[in-house]
Amino acid sequence: MLNFLKFRQYKPSTLVDVWGESEILRLGSEGESVRVIQRFLQALGHYSLGIDGYYGAEMENAVRAFQQQIGMNADGVVDERTWRAIKRLRLFLTI
């Protein structure tokens, strides 16, 4: 019963709303979608800098590391294929 009460009190955050988007992110990108990816990569241990919403060189390297880890072409760009992989894996993470 307690879990049900917690669920009913849940209010979606901006973070949850962003998961529906699939814009291409690359070096120089900025915004909430970048923050989402930063949190995701941080949870996997690929990204250690602050969550600032800026897609810099460290972020690009973290995306490459993630892409290599799952056997993708590691170009450092969060494209449609990378978004799909992230959306599948995020179900197993608490971020």
Report the domain count for the chain.
Answer: 1
Residue 85: which residues within 8 A CB-CB, separation 6 or more?
70, 72
What tokens were used for 46? 């690929």
Q: Is residue 53 part of a domain?
A: yes
Q: Is residue 28 part of a domain?
A: yes
Full domain range(s) for residue 65: 12-92
Q: Is residue 59 part of a domain?
A: yes
Q: Is residue 1 part of a domain?
A: no
Secondary structure class of 34 (helix, strand, coil)? helix
**pTM for the full model?**
0.76
Query: Quick one: pLDDT at residue 25?
Result: 97
Is pLDDT at 9 greater than 60 in this prediction? no
Angle at 82 between CA 39 and CA 13, to 5 degrees: 35
Q: Is residue 84 part of a domain?
A: yes
pLDDT digits (tens, 9 = 90+) for 74-88: 999 999 999 999 988
